[in-house]
Amino acid sequence: MSIVGRTVQYTCRLQDPPLILAGIITGENPDGTVSLRIFERNKQANMHNVEFTLEPAGSDRARGKWTWIYGNERNGSTHRADGGRDPEGAA
């Protein structure tokens, strides 16, 4: 099962304090990173090779990384909350 199309949170690395933005995963990369479409109030951007983090969105350690929106990992994704992948068909 692909994670493409899932809504996630992205922490902007340039804002101070860190800004949490909405993102949609648009691709999975062989190195484990993803491509995101990031949404701000009045603009959109594409991001490539974005790493996953377990750190809370909006924290300094989450800057430039994506994380699940609470509950997203429970509605059909094969990615666990810790960023790992469950085997296909695993409960």
DSSP class of 76: T
- How far apart are the C-alpha atoms of 25 and 34, rounded to whole Å? 7
pLDDT for residue 69? 85
82 falls within a domain: no
Number of domains present in the structure of the chain: 1
Query: pTM higher than 0.95 for the full model?
Result: no
88 falls within a domain: no
15 falls within a domain: yes
Its domain, for residue 19, covers: 7-74
Which one-letter amino acid corresponds to residue 35? S
85 falls within a domain: no
Phi, psi of 45 (to 5 degrees): -150, 155
Residue with tokens 């509605």: 75
Tens-digit pLDDT string for the chain (91 aa) = 789 999 999 999 988 899 999 999 999 999 999 999 999 999 999 999 999 999 999 999 999 999 998 654 444 444 444 555 444 443 3
